[in-house]
Amino acid sequence: MAIDLRSDTVTRPSPGMREAISSAAVGDDVYGDDPTVNSLEERVASMFGKEAGVFTPTGSLANQLGIRMLVNPGEELLAETNSHIVRAELGAAAVFSGITTRTWPARNGLLKAADALEIARPNSGPYLVSTTAIAVENTHNFGGGTVQPISEIASLKKGADDLGLALHLDGARIWNAHIASGIALAEYGKYFDTVSVCLSKGLGAPVGSVLLSTKARIDKARVWRKRYGAGMRQIGLLAAAGHYALDNNLGRLSEDHRRAKELAIAIHAIDASLITPDEVHTNIVGLDLSQLPISASELATRCREKGLWISALGPTYARLVTHLDFDDAQCAEAIEILKVALVAQ
């Protein structure tokens, strides 16, 4: 069987999770009748110290509903250049919400509050687009699983308050940040007006994200979710997988982080220009092939021929992501495959 490190979304529900799905109590969630969805929304909201939550089929929808609650049509959201909201949601903020974005670049996606605050232009009157919100991605996906420093988040919050700007957290992998940093989820939650979290990344559920905020915003987001065509019925089946994931798969993320670090150290030993192990904070191993004679897609092809699937996300950027269906034996095997693929010219 191939070792698939393209993403942490490739995991398959375990027998225990399938059991939880099959025995879930359900109801019609459009009527608010599904007890398993309701309890999941309440559970996740309380983990982050938020009043309410709304279940969504994807993290992209949770992000889009969140920023829609903060930014009016014709106003501006600031985000990092390689953030998921800007690069991987296919222009949804513009298409559905009339939101424009302006970006600041950051090495490895690492947040520096000043970078964002410097380009903010609130209340720009009739001349320029007015900034109304800033998005932070934690961990930063295309930045290589970077954990954002809580000190920078705190100073961004202070600066945003001074300017009257709202903050959105794209917390698709906030679970990884929490496990890596030891910082409480509620501590992360307190700085942001809206928070999106994914159950289908490292936590291993087949589907599901939750948007968190005040009760008033979540009531409104629920209307927009239905308008977008994502009002769903007996989805306690999916929420049960989310509960199971929170019960069983949160603490074990540290194993994914350990294996990612092992991969990084082994790859660094093959060629130090590919990666700096200290910059691997969580479960994402991003490789810079700019000093090598092969492209990222060539490396991905070579690995795939040997049974290791990795992503080529740019001409010289490849990505490996560890997850709950990847164990120590596969980690050792992946390292052997990478040695051969990287050394052969």
Ligand X SMILES: *Cc1c(COP(=O)(O)O)cnc(C)c1O
Binding site for ligand X (CB under 6 A): 58-60, 63, 84, 137, 141, 170, 172, 198, 201, 209
Output 201 or 222, the one with its CB closest to ligand X.
201
- Distance, in Å, from the CA atom of 291 to the CA atom of 301, rounded to the nearest integer, reads 18
Is residue 164 packed enough to be buried (19+ CB in 10 Å), middle (13-18) or exposed (0-12)? Answer: exposed
Minimum separation from the CB atom of position 84 to ligand X (A): 3
Q: How many CB atoms are closer than 10 A to CB 289?
A: 22
User: How far is the C-alpha of 212 from the C-alpha of 127, rounded, in Å?
Assistant: 33
Name the residue nearer to ligand X (CB basis): 110 or 198.
Answer: 198
CB nearest ligand X: which residue?
59
φ, ψ (nearest 5 deg) of residue 26: -135, 165
C-alpha atoms less than 13 angstroms from C-alpha of 154 in its C-beta half-sphere: 5
Could you tell me the smallest distance in angstroms from the CB atom of residue 124 to ligand X? Answer: 28
* Choice between 201 and 323, CB closer to ligand X: 201
Q: How far is the CB of 33 from ligand X (least distance, A)?
A: 25
Closer of 81 and 295 to ligand X (Cβ):
81
Least CB distance from residue 343 to ligand X, whole Å?
31
Q: Nearer to ligand X by C-beta: 67 or 338?
A: 67
Q: Strand pairing of 209-213 and 166-171?
A: unpaired
Least separation, in Å, of the C-beta of 153 and ligand X? 16
Residue 79 CB: number of other CB atoms within 10 A? Answer: 24
Least gap, CB of 295 to ligand X (angstroms)? 23
339 DSSP 8-state letter:
H
Residue type, position 71, single letter: V
Query: Which residue in 260, 247, 265, 268 sits closest to 323, CA to CA?
Result: 260
H-helix or E-strand containing 101? strand 100-104
* CB-nearer residue toward ligand X: 60 or 249: 60
